[in-house]
Structure 1
Protein backbone atom coordinates (compact mmCIF):
# COMPACT_ATOMS: atom_id res chain seq x y z
CA UNK A 1 0.00 0.00 0.00
CA UNK A 2 2.91 2.32 0.78
CA UNK A 3 4.24 1.92 -2.78
CA UNK A 4 0.81 2.74 -4.24
CA UNK A 5 0.66 5.93 -2.19
CA UNK A 6 4.18 6.87 -3.36
CA UNK A 7 3.09 6.24 -6.95
CA UNK A 8 -0.06 8.32 -6.52
CA UNK A 9 1.81 11.23 -4.91
CA UNK A 10 4.59 11.25 -7.52
CA UNK A 11 2.03 10.91 -10.32
CA UNK A 12 0.05 13.87 -9.02
CA UNK A 13 3.26 15.90 -8.64
CA UNK A 14 4.36 15.02 -12.17
CA UNK A 15 0.91 15.90 -13.51
CA UNK A 16 1.13 19.25 -11.70
CA UNK A 17 4.51 19.87 -13.36
CA UNK A 18 3.09 18.88 -16.76
CA UNK A 19 0.31 21.42 -16.28
CA UNK A 20 2.63 24.17 -15.05
CA UNK A 21 5.04 23.50 -17.91
CA UNK A 22 2.10 23.96 -20.31
CA UNK A 23 2.93 20.69 -22.07
CA UNK A 24 -0.69 19.49 -21.78
CA UNK A 25 -1.79 22.09 -24.30
CA UNK A 26 -2.73 20.87 -27.76
CA UNK A 27 -0.81 23.72 -29.42
CA UNK A 28 2.38 22.62 -27.62
CA UNK A 29 1.80 19.01 -28.71
CA UNK A 30 1.25 20.06 -32.30
CA UNK A 31 4.30 22.35 -32.16
CA UNK A 32 6.44 19.44 -30.98
CA UNK A 33 5.15 17.15 -33.71
CA UNK A 34 5.91 19.84 -36.31
CA UNK A 35 9.36 20.52 -34.72
CA UNK A 36 8.34 24.15 -34.26
CA UNK A 37 8.04 24.25 -30.44
CA UNK A 38 10.48 22.30 -28.31
CA UNK A 39 8.72 22.92 -24.96
CA UNK A 40 7.75 19.26 -24.62
CA UNK A 41 11.20 18.03 -25.70
CA UNK A 42 12.85 20.32 -23.14
CA UNK A 43 10.43 19.23 -20.41
CA UNK A 44 10.91 15.52 -21.06
CA UNK A 45 14.67 15.78 -21.48
CA UNK A 46 14.86 17.67 -18.18
CA UNK A 47 12.80 14.89 -16.56
CA UNK A 48 15.12 12.23 -17.97
CA UNK A 49 18.21 14.06 -16.70
CA UNK A 50 16.76 14.54 -13.19
CA UNK A 51 15.65 10.91 -13.12
CA UNK A 52 19.03 9.69 -14.36
CA UNK A 53 20.94 11.62 -11.70
CA UNK A 54 18.50 10.62 -8.96
CA UNK A 55 18.36 6.92 -9.80
CA UNK A 56 22.13 6.51 -10.15
CA UNK A 57 22.75 8.50 -6.96
CA UNK A 58 20.33 6.27 -5.05
CA UNK A 59 21.92 3.23 -6.70
CA UNK A 60 25.43 4.28 -5.64
CA UNK A 61 24.17 4.87 -2.09
CA UNK A 62 22.76 1.33 -2.06
CA UNK A 63 19.19 2.54 -1.63
CA UNK A 64 17.80 1.02 -4.85
CA UNK A 65 18.56 -1.87 -7.19
CA UNK A 66 18.55 -1.42 -10.94
CA UNK A 67 16.27 -3.76 -12.86
CA UNK A 68 17.59 -3.50 -16.41
CA UNK A 69 15.22 -4.87 -19.02
CA UNK A 70 16.48 -6.52 -22.18
CA UNK A 71 16.79 -4.30 -25.24
CA UNK A 72 14.81 -6.04 -27.96
CA UNK A 73 14.59 -4.01 -31.16
CA UNK A 74 11.43 -5.61 -32.64
CA UNK A 75 8.94 -4.55 -29.96
CA UNK A 76 10.71 -1.22 -29.39
CA UNK A 77 10.44 -0.21 -33.05
CA UNK A 78 6.86 -1.43 -33.47
CA UNK A 79 5.80 0.18 -30.16
CA UNK A 80 7.45 3.46 -31.14
CA UNK A 81 5.62 3.46 -34.47
CA UNK A 82 2.25 2.78 -32.80
CA UNK A 83 2.95 5.47 -30.18
CA UNK A 84 4.00 8.00 -32.82
CA UNK A 85 1.01 7.33 -35.06
CA UNK A 86 -1.37 7.65 -32.09
CA UNK A 87 0.27 10.87 -30.92
CA UNK A 88 0.20 12.29 -34.44
CA UNK A 89 -3.47 11.42 -35.00
CA UNK A 90 -4.71 12.58 -31.60
CA UNK A 91 -2.34 15.39 -30.73
CA UNK A 92 -1.77 14.04 -27.22
CA UNK A 93 0.56 11.39 -25.90
CA UNK A 94 -0.75 9.00 -23.21
CA UNK A 95 0.41 11.02 -20.19
CA UNK A 96 -0.74 14.32 -21.57
CA UNK A 97 -4.13 12.78 -22.43
CA UNK A 98 -4.71 12.15 -18.72
CA UNK A 99 -3.61 15.67 -17.81
CA UNK A 100 -5.68 17.26 -20.57
CA UNK A 101 -8.81 15.47 -19.33
CA UNK A 102 -7.96 16.77 -15.86
CA UNK A 103 -7.98 20.28 -17.35
CA UNK A 104 -11.39 19.63 -18.93
CA UNK A 105 -10.40 18.90 -22.54
CA UNK A 106 -12.69 15.99 -23.30
CA UNK A 107 -11.21 15.29 -26.74
CA UNK A 108 -8.27 13.73 -24.89
CA UNK A 109 -10.57 10.92 -23.73
CA UNK A 110 -9.81 9.34 -27.13
CA UNK A 111 -6.21 8.97 -25.97
CA UNK A 112 -7.26 7.24 -22.77
CA UNK A 113 -9.61 4.98 -24.73
CA UNK A 114 -6.73 4.21 -27.10
CA UNK A 115 -4.51 3.26 -24.15
CA UNK A 116 -7.13 0.90 -22.72
CA UNK A 117 -7.89 -0.73 -26.08
CA UNK A 118 -4.18 -0.94 -26.93
CA UNK A 119 -3.39 -2.58 -23.57
CA UNK A 120 -6.18 -5.13 -24.08
CA UNK A 121 -5.02 -5.94 -27.62
CA UNK A 122 -1.41 -6.23 -26.41
CA UNK A 123 -2.45 -8.61 -23.60
CA UNK A 124 -4.32 -10.81 -26.07
CA UNK A 125 -1.49 -10.79 -28.62
CA UNK A 126 1.35 -11.20 -26.09
CA UNK A 127 1.76 -15.01 -26.40
CA UNK A 128 2.09 -14.71 -30.18
CA UNK A 129 4.38 -11.67 -29.86
CA UNK A 130 6.72 -13.64 -27.59
CA UNK A 131 7.25 -16.17 -30.38
CA UNK A 132 7.72 -13.56 -33.10
CA UNK A 133 8.38 -9.87 -32.46
CA UNK A 134 10.16 -10.48 -29.14
CA UNK A 135 12.80 -12.56 -30.92
CA UNK A 136 13.83 -9.78 -33.32
CA UNK A 137 17.07 -8.04 -32.36
CA UNK A 138 17.53 -9.13 -28.74
CA UNK A 139 20.59 -7.19 -27.52
CA UNK A 140 20.27 -8.35 -23.92
CA UNK A 141 20.37 -6.24 -20.77
CA UNK A 142 22.59 -3.34 -21.79
CA UNK A 143 23.15 0.24 -20.68
CA UNK A 144 25.09 3.06 -22.36
CA UNK A 145 27.85 3.04 -19.69
CA UNK A 146 28.25 -0.76 -20.01
CA UNK A 147 28.42 -0.60 -23.82
CA UNK A 148 31.10 2.11 -23.61
CA UNK A 149 32.86 0.43 -20.68
CA UNK A 150 32.88 3.56 -18.51
CA UNK A 151 31.36 4.73 -15.23
CA UNK A 152 27.85 6.12 -15.36
CA UNK A 153 29.26 9.29 -13.75
CA UNK A 154 31.16 9.94 -16.98
CA UNK A 155 28.05 9.50 -19.13
CA UNK A 156 25.66 11.54 -16.95
CA UNK A 157 27.60 14.84 -17.16
CA UNK A 158 27.93 14.34 -20.93
CA UNK A 159 24.14 13.97 -21.20
CA UNK A 160 23.68 17.09 -19.06
CA UNK A 161 26.08 19.13 -21.23
CA UNK A 162 24.39 17.86 -24.40
CA UNK A 163 20.97 18.82 -22.99
CA UNK A 164 22.13 22.32 -22.03
CA UNK A 165 23.65 22.83 -25.49
CA UNK A 166 20.41 21.63 -27.12
CA UNK A 167 18.36 23.97 -24.91
CA UNK A 168 20.55 26.91 -25.87
CA UNK A 169 20.29 26.00 -29.57
CA UNK A 170 16.49 25.73 -29.25
CA UNK A 171 16.38 29.16 -27.61
CA UNK A 172 18.54 30.74 -30.34
CA UNK A 173 16.17 29.29 -32.96
CA UNK A 174 13.11 30.47 -31.02
CA UNK A 175 11.95 26.93 -30.42
Structure 2
Protein backbone atom coordinates (compact mmCIF):
# COMPACT_ATOMS: atom_id res chain seq x y z
CA UNK A 1 0.00 0.00 0.00
CA UNK A 2 2.91 2.35 0.75
CA UNK A 3 4.25 1.86 -2.77
CA UNK A 4 0.82 2.62 -4.22
CA UNK A 5 0.57 5.88 -2.27
CA UNK A 6 4.12 6.73 -3.32
CA UNK A 7 3.21 6.14 -6.96
CA UNK A 8 0.06 8.26 -6.71
CA UNK A 9 1.93 11.05 -4.92
CA UNK A 10 4.73 10.95 -7.51
CA UNK A 11 2.32 11.11 -10.43
CA UNK A 12 0.43 13.99 -8.82
CA UNK A 13 3.65 15.87 -8.10
CA UNK A 14 4.88 15.29 -11.66
CA UNK A 15 1.56 16.58 -12.99
CA UNK A 16 1.89 19.71 -10.84
CA UNK A 17 5.50 20.21 -11.97
CA UNK A 18 4.36 20.04 -15.58
CA UNK A 19 1.32 22.29 -15.09
CA UNK A 20 3.43 24.82 -13.18
CA UNK A 21 5.85 24.92 -16.14
CA UNK A 22 8.80 24.38 -13.81
CA UNK A 23 10.16 21.58 -16.00
CA UNK A 24 11.15 24.09 -18.66
CA UNK A 25 14.81 24.96 -18.97
CA UNK A 26 14.04 28.67 -19.45
CA UNK A 27 12.15 28.70 -16.12
CA UNK A 28 15.08 26.98 -14.40
CA UNK A 29 17.54 29.46 -15.90
CA UNK A 30 15.25 32.38 -15.02
CA UNK A 31 15.18 31.22 -11.40
CA UNK A 32 18.95 30.91 -11.26
CA UNK A 33 19.30 34.43 -12.69
CA UNK A 34 16.58 35.76 -10.30
CA UNK A 35 14.56 36.99 -13.29
CA UNK A 36 11.67 34.51 -13.23
CA UNK A 37 10.27 33.47 -9.86
CA UNK A 38 7.93 30.75 -11.19
CA UNK A 39 9.98 28.02 -9.52
CA UNK A 40 10.32 29.97 -6.26
CA UNK A 41 6.54 30.49 -6.17
CA UNK A 42 5.98 26.79 -6.93
CA UNK A 43 8.40 25.69 -4.22
CA UNK A 44 7.06 28.06 -1.55
CA UNK A 45 3.48 27.01 -2.30
CA UNK A 46 4.38 23.35 -1.99
CA UNK A 47 6.40 23.88 1.18
CA UNK A 48 3.39 25.64 2.73
CA UNK A 49 1.03 22.77 1.86
CA UNK A 50 3.56 20.09 2.85
CA UNK A 51 4.44 21.51 6.26
CA UNK A 52 0.78 21.79 7.22
CA UNK A 53 -0.02 18.35 5.80
CA UNK A 54 2.92 16.52 7.33
CA UNK A 55 2.44 17.97 10.81
CA UNK A 56 -1.31 17.41 10.66
CA UNK A 57 -0.80 13.77 9.66
CA UNK A 58 1.85 13.45 12.39
CA UNK A 59 -0.49 14.91 15.03
CA UNK A 60 -3.23 12.50 13.90
CA UNK A 61 -0.81 9.58 14.28
CA UNK A 62 -0.99 8.68 10.58
CA UNK A 63 2.72 9.27 9.90
CA UNK A 64 5.84 9.39 12.02
CA UNK A 65 8.52 12.00 11.46
CA UNK A 66 11.97 10.56 10.86
CA UNK A 67 14.42 13.36 11.52
CA UNK A 68 17.99 13.26 10.31
CA UNK A 69 20.82 14.78 12.29
CA UNK A 70 21.91 18.32 11.45
CA UNK A 71 25.49 18.07 10.18
CA UNK A 72 26.65 21.41 8.83
CA UNK A 73 29.66 20.03 6.92
CA UNK A 74 27.58 17.53 4.97
CA UNK A 75 24.72 20.01 4.45
CA UNK A 76 27.00 22.75 3.15
CA UNK A 77 29.02 20.45 0.88
CA UNK A 78 25.88 18.77 -0.42
CA UNK A 79 24.22 22.12 -1.04
CA UNK A 80 27.24 23.40 -2.95
CA UNK A 81 27.37 20.30 -5.13
CA UNK A 82 23.61 20.41 -5.73
CA UNK A 83 23.75 24.10 -6.63
CA UNK A 84 26.71 23.60 -8.95
CA UNK A 85 24.93 20.76 -10.73
CA UNK A 86 21.71 22.77 -11.06
CA UNK A 87 23.65 25.74 -12.38
CA UNK A 88 25.56 23.65 -14.91
CA UNK A 89 22.67 21.69 -16.42
CA UNK A 90 19.68 23.85 -15.51
CA UNK A 91 17.70 21.03 -13.91
CA UNK A 92 17.26 19.72 -10.40
CA UNK A 93 16.54 16.00 -9.78
CA UNK A 94 12.74 16.15 -9.97
CA UNK A 95 12.57 18.50 -12.90
CA UNK A 96 15.15 16.55 -14.91
CA UNK A 97 13.07 13.36 -14.77
CA UNK A 98 9.91 15.32 -15.59
CA UNK A 99 11.64 17.08 -18.48
CA UNK A 100 12.72 13.73 -19.96
CA UNK A 101 9.09 12.64 -19.63
CA UNK A 102 8.12 15.66 -21.72
CA UNK A 103 10.71 14.70 -24.35
CA UNK A 104 13.50 17.12 -23.41
CA UNK A 105 16.50 14.89 -23.92
CA UNK A 106 18.98 17.52 -22.71
CA UNK A 107 17.79 16.64 -19.21
CA UNK A 108 19.47 13.25 -19.63
CA UNK A 109 22.75 15.07 -18.88
CA UNK A 110 21.35 16.02 -15.48
CA UNK A 111 20.29 12.44 -14.79
CA UNK A 112 23.70 11.16 -15.90
CA UNK A 113 25.34 13.71 -13.60
CA UNK A 114 23.18 12.60 -10.67
CA UNK A 115 24.04 8.94 -11.27
CA UNK A 116 27.75 9.77 -11.54
CA UNK A 117 27.53 11.91 -8.39
CA UNK A 118 25.76 9.11 -6.51
CA UNK A 119 28.47 6.64 -7.56
CA UNK A 120 31.23 9.03 -6.48
CA UNK A 121 29.45 9.67 -3.18
CA UNK A 122 29.09 5.93 -2.53
CA UNK A 123 32.79 5.44 -3.27
CA UNK A 124 33.83 8.33 -0.97
CA UNK A 125 31.30 7.72 1.82
CA UNK A 126 33.69 6.02 4.24
CA UNK A 127 36.22 8.86 3.90
CA UNK A 128 33.47 11.45 4.35
CA UNK A 129 32.35 9.81 7.61
CA UNK A 130 35.69 10.69 9.20
CA UNK A 131 35.80 14.23 7.83
CA UNK A 132 32.80 16.12 6.46
CA UNK A 133 30.32 14.18 8.61
CA UNK A 134 32.12 15.33 11.77
CA UNK A 135 31.94 19.07 11.06
CA UNK A 136 29.15 20.83 12.94
CA UNK A 137 27.12 17.91 14.26
CA UNK A 138 24.10 19.25 16.16
CA UNK A 139 21.83 16.22 16.35
CA UNK A 140 18.18 16.06 15.38
CA UNK A 141 17.02 19.67 15.41
CA UNK A 142 13.73 21.26 14.55
CA UNK A 143 12.91 24.95 14.64
CA UNK A 144 10.04 24.41 17.15
CA UNK A 145 12.38 22.32 19.31
CA UNK A 146 15.13 24.93 19.30
CA UNK A 147 12.65 27.72 20.08
CA UNK A 148 10.75 25.62 22.63
CA UNK A 149 7.36 26.42 21.09
CA UNK A 150 4.55 24.50 19.43
CA UNK A 151 5.19 23.45 15.86
CA UNK A 152 1.87 25.06 14.91
CA UNK A 153 3.12 28.46 16.06
CA UNK A 154 6.20 28.12 13.86
CA UNK A 155 4.05 26.92 10.96
CA UNK A 156 1.69 29.90 11.28
CA UNK A 157 4.61 32.35 11.32
CA UNK A 158 6.22 30.67 8.31
CA UNK A 159 2.92 30.63 6.43
CA UNK A 160 2.59 34.38 7.01
CA UNK A 161 6.18 35.04 5.92
CA UNK A 162 5.89 32.83 2.82
CA UNK A 163 2.56 34.42 1.89
CA UNK A 164 4.16 37.88 2.19
CA UNK A 165 7.07 36.76 -0.01
CA UNK A 166 4.66 35.37 -2.60
CA UNK A 167 2.66 38.60 -2.54
CA UNK A 168 5.87 40.64 -2.98
CA UNK A 169 6.97 38.51 -5.94
CA UNK A 170 3.57 38.87 -7.56
CA UNK A 171 3.57 42.66 -7.08
CA UNK A 172 6.99 42.88 -8.70
CA UNK A 173 5.70 40.89 -11.68
CA UNK A 174 8.28 38.16 -11.31
Q: Which residue of 2 aligns with 1:112?
A: 111
Alpha-carbon separation, structure 2, partners of 1:44 and 1:118 = 24
Shift of residue 144 of structure 1? 0.4
Residue 85 of structure 1, CA deviation: 0.6
Kindly state the Cα deviation for residue 5 of structure 1 after the two structures are TM-superposed.
Answer: 2.1
Q: What is the CA deviation profile of residues 79-133 of structure 1, one whole-angstrom value per residue up to 9, with x for unaligned ones?
A: 1101111111111111100010001010000011111111111111111111110
Match of 2:61 in 1: 62
CA distance in 1, matches of 2:132, 2:147: 27
Corresponding residue number in structure 2 for 1:34: 33
Aligned twin of 1:87: 86
What is the rounded CA distance, in whole Å, between the counterparts of 2:59 and 2:132 in structure 1? 35
Separation in structure 2 between the aligned mates of residue 7 and residue 66 of structure 1, nearest angstrom? 16
What is the aligned residue count?
Answer: 174
Matched, 1:130 2:129: yes
Distance 1:125 1:63 in 2: 37
Q: Is 2:127 the counterpart of 1:162? A: no
Q: TM-score, normalised by structure 1?
A: 0.97
Q: SS in structure 2 opposite 1:165?
A: helix
Q: Deviations over 1:21-41 (max 9, x none)?
A: 000011110110001111101
Corresponding residue SS for 1:106: coil
Any unmatched runs of 5+ in structure 1? none
Corresponding position of 2:18? 19
Q: How far apart are the structure 1 equivalents of 2:11 and 2:58?
A: 24
Tell me the distance in 1 between the aligned counterparts of 2:77 and 2:152.
32
Cα distance in 1, alignment partners of residues 88 and 112 from structure 2? 14
Output the aligned Cα RMSD: 0.8
Q: List per-residue Cα deviations over 1:112-157 (Å, max 9, x = no partner).
A: 1111111111111111111110000001100000111100010111
Structure 1: 4+ residue segments shifted above 6 A: none
In the superposition, the TM-score normalised over structure 2's length comes to 0.97
Structure 2 equivalent of residue 46 of structure 1? 45
Q: CA deviation at 1:46?
A: 1.1
